[in-house]
Structure 1
Amino acid sequence: MKTITAQREKIAALAKSANHLLAEKGDQTWSKEEQATFDGYTNEIDLTKGQIKAAEKMREIDADSFFNAAPAKKEDEHTIDAMSAVALYLRNGANVTHEQALAIRNAMSTTTAAEGGFTVPAEIATMVVEKMKAFGGMRDVATAMSTAGGNSMNWPTSDGTAEVGAIVGQNTVVNSADVTFGTISLNPFYYTSNQIALPLELIQDSAIDVVGFVVARLATRIARIQNTHFTVGAGTTLPDGVIPRAGVGKVGVSGQTLTATYDDLIDLIHSVNRAYRGAGRFMMNDFSLAVVRKLKDTTGRPIWNPGDMEGIAEGVPSTLCGYAYTINDDVPVMAANAKSIAFGDFSQYMIRDVAGTTTLRRFDDSNFALKNQVGFCGWTRSGGNLMEPAAVKVYTNSST
């Protein structure tokens, strides 16, 4: 089996060959054979990246197995660390000694939520946020902040891209140019993973990282629904999603219900003010990316530039028209009137997480016990909004 290093070198060589072909052809029209050669390079890059990810995943699994098999360090039950306390609670629930119960309460605080449970320590809350970053794309590019309280919040906004100064003579009164401010709500919402059922034997198995396992399952569910809302949420009873809040930068002409053109992407880029364009990137569904990657410029060259070692540490990411892109499958797929491609500075989208609201609860009632299962549920409070709508614009497919 090839090593990861060898696979990375293979990607570098393929990317070099693809870029050489692009440079060699210049303004010439591509032949079918040349296009097939280029597509072969890019497809092989994608397949090799998948092999690298699989190999890295197996390394993580092997490392976890090694450390789980190591002898556990004995500690005073009254002074166990936060991670050990959470693991004790998740494995045993209320079936612990009085001393262990005290240790759990010292590390975790009880909540007053309707479902009860424990507020998890900061270490676990951080794990939840990190797990949520792995899903959807919004948390990768947005700006996240944590607030101590969950009260309603109005965020001040001001778009100064059209404001200019002036020349004045000596002893001349300057004109008034007041700055216009607005406000945008940034309110949090309660999110829950809903209950999940896990086999009792799995939870009690000391070889299993019970904290990591349960947190991953709960955080994944919350991450998926939050990404949907941060992308297409309608506001009021949901967060305001980036797609509904963004302005329309380009509308496809008649017949472009399922596609876009190279010129459309250029127009979309330039619909965003240069103040935000410098940090601009594309965001679209993976199916839309497949459509865009096939687009050619006016000379027949693909506009997608396969990066050198895409996705590899210290590598150069692939670009569209010179800009990076984020795959977000909650962005609508191409269809009539669909806002299928977004471009701009997504750091202007603010995600608000309320500190101290990530809670966990274990369920041992008969609904689970009769099946030899344990139930778990998680909660957290988050919200989001695009602070400056001018920072992101969308491409809308034609209606017919």
Structure 2
Amino acid sequence: MNIQALREKIQNLATQANNLIANKGDSTWTKEEQSQFDGWADEIAQLKNQIAAVEKMRSLEAENFFADKPKKQGAEEVEITDLVAVALYLRNGTNVTAEQAAAIRNAMSTTTPSEGGYTVPAEIAAMVIDKLKAYGGMRAVAEIIPTESGGALNFPTSDGTGEEGEIVGENAATTGQDITFGTAPLATYKYSSKKIALPVELIMDSAIDVIAFVLNRLVTRIARIQNRHFTTGTGTGQPFGIVTQAGTGKIGATGQTLSVLYDDLVDLKHSVNRAYRANARFMMNDMSVAVVSKLKDTTGRPIWVPSVTSDVPDTLLGFKVEINDDVAVMAASAKSIVFGDLSKYAIRDVKNSASLRRFDDSAFALNGQVGFCGWQRSGGNLLDPAAVKVYQNSAT
């Protein structure tokens, strides 16, 4: 079944589910209706996972990088653009002509230490950021702040939800109420993909888009560790995570080590001030979705509403849901559900910090391999802790 057919099936199932919700209104749901809705929700989730798997495989398929490039004809030389220069470096390292070596030096900064990699041109840097965003999770909801350098940076914070004005009489003086400011550090860290070995034959294959292939492998590794740190980072030698910085809005009652109740979600929702709820959403592990998508309100009405398209988030209590598998699965004392204005978490990316390095030393060469490593500098922190709260499962 192709992706379009899968999407049409999702839309059909979601339409039936939404129609059932609309037709029942505030009426009490029967067990048969609840079971039918749950079946649709399960099938929709499976179809979305199937689409995600197909799209992931397609993104990894190499395209012919040189297919649209002009071929050398007679004395006419092929133009060496920045992208071509990077591809030449990734394919051949230093085994290039003098002209090609000059183009590579122009395209990629050689002012950084060799083990630190070579800064990539703007087009490649943009590809790195796009691939980091495509990984989803925290980068899908956070505010992205690009900075020119990676120096120490503190953002001012202030919670004004408890402040209010006053009534004054004619010719009466107004009283004062100072604003309390704090600071939230937004340090950056140098992330590495770790060295990766690839077969020489694969890198030299002209049918492979070597830039896309290498970046996919390297950037995915960086995206994984960044998302984990932006979610649960300790702030010691790594960024503060959103779960780490958020307050606890609701703790499950004894016995709820693996569950959450409808009432718990309502309490979690209202633990976040109304000022932040206009832009709020839930975030949780996909395993937790399997739990909350079965919850019903007091009339048996589902509180989980599937979207009619695969690329639009489902909703819970009317709020969008972001899937982030670095949020803890439900377990004893686990902080398993996040709710609030997640855009109050800021991710700081240092401009021009993306770099690549090719390794041709004997550790790789003797095995017929080429080594690659990538770097990128980023950091993150929840700038307004009052905007986000978490649900914590019970300890026992």
TM-score band by shorter chain is over 0.9
Contact kept? 2:284, 2:337, Cα under 8 Å: yes
Corresponding residue for residue 383 of structure 2: 387
Provide the rounded CA distance (Å) in 2 between the counterparts of 1:221 and 1:334: 25
User: What code does the residue aligned with 1:293 have?
Assistant: S
What's the CA shift for 1:40? 2.7
Alignment partner of 2:351 out of 331, 355, 370: 355
Alignment partner of 1:346 out of 342, 349, 353: 342
Provide the rounded CA distance (Å) in 2 between the counterparts of 1:193 and 1:48: 31
Corresponding residue for residue 45 of structure 1: 44
Contact kept? 1:199, 1:373, Cα under 8 Å: yes
Aligned length: 393
Provide the rounded CA distance (Å) in 2 between the counterparts of 1:326 and 1:280: 11
Query: Does structure 1 residue 36 correspond to structure 2 residue 35?
Result: yes
TM-score by length of 2: 0.93
Q: Any idea what the Cα deviations from partners look like across 1:243-270, whole Å, max 9, x if unmatched?
A: 0100111111111111110111111111
SS in structure 2 of the partner of residue 109 of structure 1:
coil
Within a 5 Å distance, the mapping from 1:1-400 to structure 2 comes to: 4-53=3-52, 65=63, 68=65, 70=67, 72-74=69-71, 80-113=80-113, 115-311=115-311, 317-400=313-396
User: What code does the residue aligned with 1:284 have?
Assistant: M
Provide the rounded CA distance (Å) in 2 between the counterparts of 1:257 and 1:355: 43
What's the CA shift for 1:23? 2.9
Provide the rounded CA distance (Å) in 1 between the counterparts of 2:182 and 2:282: 27
Q: Structure 2, unaligned stretches of length 5 or more?
A: none
Contact kept? 2:71, 2:78, Cα under 8 Å: no
Q: Any idea what the Cα deviations from partners look like across 1:191-237, whole Å, max 9, x if unmatched?
A: 10000000000000111000001011110000000101110011131
- Change over 3 Å in CA distance of 1:268–1:57 after alignment to 2: closer
What's the CA shift for 1:296? 1.2
Contact kept? 2:272, 2:386, Cα under 8 Å: yes
158-167 or 368-377, which deviates more: 158-167
SS in structure 1 of the partner of residue 319 of structure 2:
coil
Contact kept? 2:80, 2:100, Cα under 8 Å: no
What's the CA shift for 1:6? 4.5
Provide the rounded CA distance (Å) in 1 between the counterparts of 2:251 and 2:77: 64
Q: Structure 1, unaligned stretches of length 5 or more?
A: none
- Change over 3 Å in CA distance of 1:288–1:362 after alignment to 2: same
Provide the rounded CA distance (Å) in 1 between the counterparts of 2:48 and 2:216: 24
Contact kept? 1:368, 1:375, Cα under 8 Å: yes
Identical counterparts, % of pairs: 63
User: What code does the residue aligned with 2:132 have?
Assistant: M
What's the CA shift for 1:30? 3.6
- Change over 3 Å in CA distance of 1:47–1:69 after alignment to 2: farther
User: What code does the residue aligned with 1:43 have?
Assistant: D
What's the CA shift for 1:112? 2.6
Contact kept? 2:281, 2:319, Cα under 8 Å: yes
- Change over 3 Å in CA distance of 1:245–1:292 after alignment to 2: same
What's the CA shift for 1:169? 1.7
Contact kept? 1:110, 1:116, Cα under 8 Å: no
SS in structure 2 of the partner of residue 341 of structure 1:
strand
